[in-house]
Chain A
Amino acid sequence: MKFDSPATTNAIDQLKVIGQPVSRIDGPRKTTGTAPYAFERHDAVPDPAYGYVVGSAISKGRIDAIDLTAAKTAPGVLAVVTADNAGKLAKGSRNFAALLGGPDIEHYHQAIAVVVAETFEQARAAAQLVKVDYSRAEGVFELAAVADAGNPAEGNSGPADTQVGDFSGAFAAAPVKLDATYTTPDEAHAMMEPHASTAAWNGETLTVWTSNQMIDWGATDLAETLGIAREKVRLISPFIGGGFGGKLFLRADALLAALGARAAGRPVKVALHRPLMFNNTTHRPATIQRIRLGATKDGKITAIGHECWSGNLPGGKPEAAVEQTRLLYAGANRMTNIRLSALDLPEGNAMRAPGEASGMMALEIAIDEMAEKLGLDPVEFRILNDTQVDPEKPQRPFSLRRFTECFETGAARFGWSKRNAQPGKVRDGNWLVGLGTAAAFRNNLLTKSAARVRLDGRGVVTVETDMTDIGTGSYTIIAQTAAEMMGVPLEKVVVHLGDSTFPVSAGSGGQWGGNNSTAGVYAACMKLREAVAQRLGFNSAEADFIDGQVRSGTRSVPLVQAAGDIELVAEDGIEYGDLGKMVQQSTFGAHFVEVGVDTATAEIRVRRMLAVCSAGRILNPKTARSQVIGAMTMGVGAALMEELVVDKRHGFFVNHDLAGYEVPVHADIPHQDVIFLDETDPMSSPMKAKGIAELGICGVAAAVANAIYNATGVRVRDYPITLDKLLPRLPEVG
């Protein structure tokens, strides 16, 4: 189905199932431990061997010699695979560093061997016996030292540089100016389930039970890496214990399970152990960002400039932190640029809202600082510079942008009017209390997505698509879509996901999964409705599918009759025309945060949070809310504690376990409120929905930072905002 004109009224608009706060249909399986994850597929592979991954102990250089004698003869060992004996391996198009390194080493803890043994403990013990001689090479590990020499690099959806009007002239002439530099650190996905795969060969064909957000990318890249045909690889990933972008790509677990299984001649399972994950897999790269704002005295932005610097392995991509600045605020004179330097740290790549999450961390502090310079309320300043058109290309309107309403609604609900604009003035016992706000912004991405739908003789509708559920609720909204479309209750829908033999979907990433994958199911259901109508003798354009019946005029036939003994099957997908080019599709929000800062110790605790979101139709308010509060939690982590600390001498992330890499715990997270503006966006898809899961993180950290400033009068521009950065400037304890 081609989607190239705005959606009109359709079956989804009935909202009998869609739009309802349905609990996750996979919930009971997860809470009872009966949803099998990749490492526990005993049902499919009863007797696997275990692989344990050895990571490089140096960041850059070469392996001179690798001695496997002791490891190979250790008890229980079946095989040891290294680059030497793995056979020829290519590199998948989405990997920058080799997943099995050697003799060249590209980053710390790059996998250099997998030891396969009868038991996990045997594999782990034998892995310690692998003896490696390295030659270290000089590496570049510090972004700040090389940022100035960075090269222009394309963003996720735009060029390296943009210029509109005369930025320098307008900035120089602006009566009120801000020129400030911000930094964000490297961050880890730190999801609960580690990367894990169980691999089994059957002759030339390979099946991998894995944990991966993008099944088609994974299967394609695994086939390419192994040099076998794509059809010979099957990926199965029905349940995923979190990803946040860390499982978008083929990673070492899947490749090494496949290689280990081939070498051992039997199925092998591999999970990356936690201390290896932080340097072996991908992370969100650190940034340095300079923001310049110029405005008239009454607060109209006349010049807006945003530059960002990040680093990555050669061939890698930048953290494109300026792209939201091209779209978020009005202003006639604009410039942005993206610079990238080569670094020898582990591979940087997408993490929840890549680009925008980092960019909003900086931009939304800058806006707060500018509002203060102007003597304006930060809510008012943002509303004043709202725009209904793409500010770089004013002929392109936004499809739907209720940015101002987000702030007005949120300010009223949060009690923003009670904020004392003068920082450091509000005390509650030993706490300095402050309120902060920030905009949320994330683009809505359109990508094709297909599904297969079956109707059987019991009236059960079964959906099959390689879409994944990474804890987001995909199972549920897909079931809701099929139920709505076919006019059956939710209990009559079965959903199968995450199998590369199913039609290729959008997958989970970039907050595109919800809208696109359900639109694909919509398309397949439209096709199934046609088949049903034809079999039952209806004109499909006039038939309604309601309450298990197919109706037209006075005639009504039970849906179940359409299938009879022969199952009806339909397959289709959604594809997008040029709508997305003619209008700008984005999602918007406003975050409000209250923090307390301890007057003595500068410990920071978030006390209240609210997010208001304008993100098209909310397919399921319950799962959508879960996404947003999860994202807000992650935003608090980014604001206050998350940082992969670089050892600048040896080039690796030092705090590589969950004790050292702190993310928020329950005690850090207070009551969180979420409001969704009631709306539909007919430009996005027949679902009229947009993304929500990444919008929720964008801006949160800045809202926290702004609240800390309001509480203390101390402005910190380097994340995370830990107490040691506040202490030197905190007032004496009174």
Chain B
Amino acid sequence: MKSVSYERANSPAEAAAAAARTPRAKFIAGGTNLLDLMKLEIETPSHLIDVNRLDLAKIEPTSDGGLRIGALVRNTDLAADPRVRRDYGVLARALLAGASGQLRNKATTAGNLLQRTRCPYFYDTDQPCNKRRPGAGCAAIGGFSRQHAVIGASDACIATHPSDMAVAMRALDATVETIRPDGATRNVPIAEFYRLPGETPEIETTLAPDELITAVTLPKPVGGKQIYRKVRDRASYAFALVSVAAIVQRDGSGSVALGGVAHKPWRLEAADAELPRGARATTALLLGDAKPTRENAFKLTLAERTLGAVLAAAKG
């Protein structure tokens, strides 16, 4: 049997230090993604650092009027928090559109950010996948690509990031707080947190392997209508074909991020500026560089129409 050693971390810096010490170590939070991947031997850590007992499960106000969400706050608790519901409705809605009640009870804020793609070839260890085995090739290119990225993909990988929560956080300009073994902390704007696949699709974020996420902070509430619209093939318990997280102010300005279209939550600040001119103008910019496959070209139309519906709802 593949043996995995296990330890329970007592402080964030200690957890990071444990990761630095042990090659092929992984943090484990809710385990709802990591354990599934380990069973299939897609993830093969040699050491697990359990972060569940760390004191990172609080939601607290920040000094500048925002909210600091501990890395271990469960998705269910985050979605139910009255401050989140009142001031960051797009986030609560995105969380509730994801997974199932049971999974959300387990899933953590940090784990959700770092969940891995749902590309079916990534899940089939009998198929080549650059994300699983760098250099092996990408079975999805030229294969079944209906769910895959339409923009920002590369010749090495066309996978999407499946998180709903992250799309809302991108629209909200969240910041990811981290800590290193030496205790040094960092604030990474979510815009700089995820990477496009490029030549190294196995590297998905700008985190170092021994860097622990401690929190996600949200800026001061910006008000506006906050809508998360997730489009999928069945009514629940499915990943987005396309999702739209939008914050729309009374004057029509705001921000918009798309899920289901790229290797990361997709937002272009320049496209936000087009929001007052409507869905067509906005998506023309947002997805202007799209290179869809035959099977997923519908996502371009779908994104535009969904944004149209969101903007109409924001007005109404």
Contacts and interface: CB of A to CB of B under 8 A. Distances in A.
A662 B144 CA distance: 15
27 contacts: A75-B1, A76-B1, A109-B126, A124-B39, A125-B1, A125-B41, A275-B40, A600-B308, A603-B231, A640-B234, A649-B143, A654-B120, A654-B121, A657-B123, A659-B118, A659-B239, A665-B234, A666-B236, A667-B234, A667-B235, A723-B241, A724-B146, A724-B298, A727-B301, A727-B302, A727-B305, A733-B308
B143 A654 contact: yes
B233 A640 contact: yes
A641 interface: yes
B309 A600 contact: yes
A205 interface: no
A107 B180 CA distance: 49
A728 B312 CA distance: 21
Interface in A631-670: 640-641, 645, 647, 649-650, 654-657, 659-660, 662, 664-668
B283 interface: no
A151 interface: no
Nearest to A659: B118
A430 B308 CA distance: 12
Interface in B274-316: 298, 301-302, 305-306, 308-309, 312
B2 A125 contact: yes
A87 to B, nearest CB: 27
A49 to B, nearest CB: 14
Contacts of A650: 127, 139, 143
A601 interface: yes
Contact of A275 (B124, B142, B305): B124
Contact of B235 (A55, A649, A660, A668): A668
B20 to A, nearest CB: 27
A273 to B, nearest CB: 9
A601 B306 contact: yes
Q: Which 5 A-B pairs have the closest CB atoms?
A: A600-B309, A667-B235, A57-B126, A724-B298, A667-B236
A74 B302 contact: no
B119 to A, nearest CB: 10
Interface string A24-67: 00000000000000000000000000000001010000000000
A656 B1 CA distance: 25
B237 interface: yes
Nearest to B126: A57
A534 B234 CA distance: 62
Contacts of B126: 55, 57, 109
B135 to A, nearest CB: 18
A649 B139 CA distance: 10
A641 B233 contact: yes
Contact of B237 (A126, A647, A665, A727): A665
Nearest to A648: B143
Contacts of B121: 654
Nearest to B231: A601
Nearest to B309: A600
A662 B305 contact: no
Interface in A579-598: 598
* Most A C-beta atoms less than 10 A away, residue of B40, B118, B120: B120
B80 interface: no
A723 B1 contact: no
Contacts of A647: 139, 143-144
Contacts of B136: none
Contact of A655 (B1, B142, B144, B235): B144
B304 to A, nearest CB: 9
The secondary structure that dominates the A interface is: loop
Contacts of A600: 305-306, 308-309
B244 to A, nearest CB: 10
Interface in B1-28: 1-2
Contacts of B236: 665-668
B1 A601 contact: no
A662 B238 CA distance: 8
A326 B2 CA distance: 58
Nearest to B232: A603
Interface residues of B, number: 36
B160 to A, nearest CB: 14
B263 to A, nearest CB: 19
Interface residues of A, number: 46
Contacts of B235: 605, 665, 667-668
A656 B124 contact: yes
B234 A728 contact: no
Contacts of A128: 41
Given A641-B234, A645-B146, A647-B144, 11 more contacts: A57-B126, A602-B305, A640-B233, A640-B234, A645-B144, A654-B143, A655-B144, A667-B235, A667-B237, A668-B236, A733-B312
A656 B2 CA distance: 25
Interface string B73-116: 00000000000000000000000000000000000000000000
Interface string A400-428: 00000000000000000000000000000
A119 interface: yes
A402 B241 CA distance: 44
A668 B234 CA distance: 6
B309 A601 contact: yes
A668 B235 CA distance: 5
Interface in A692-734: 722-724, 727-728, 733
A723 B241 CA distance: 10
Interface string B143-170: 1101000000000000000000000000
A727 B231 CA distance: 13
A572 B306 CA distance: 64
B315 to A, nearest CB: 13
A122 B1 contact: yes
A121 B229 CA distance: 40
A124 B144 CA distance: 28
Contact of B233 (A57, A645, A722, A733): A722
Given A647-B143, A657-B123, A662 B234 contact: yes
Nearest to A58: B126
Interface string B238-279: 110100000000000000000000000000000000000000
Contacts of B143: 647, 649-650, 654
A76 B234 CA distance: 43
A169 B305 CA distance: 48
A602 B231 CA distance: 9
A121 B121 CA distance: 23
A662 B127 CA distance: 21
A654 B118 CA distance: 12
A542 to B, nearest CB: 60
Contacts of A119: 1
Given A640-B233, A722-B233, A601 B305 contact: yes
Contacts of A645: 144, 146
A124 B127 CA distance: 18
Nearest to B244: A601
A727 B1 contact: no
B9 to A, nearest CB: 24
A119 B216 CA distance: 41
Contacts of B241: 723-724
Contacts of A601: 229, 231, 302, 305-306, 309
A657 B40 CA distance: 12
Nearest to B2: A125
A122 to B, nearest CB: 5
B183 to A, nearest CB: 37
Contacts of B302: 601-602, 723-724, 727
Contacts of A109: 126
Contacts of B124: 275, 654, 656
A581 B116 CA distance: 59
Contacts of B142: 649
Contacts of B312: 733
Contacts of A660: 118, 120, 123
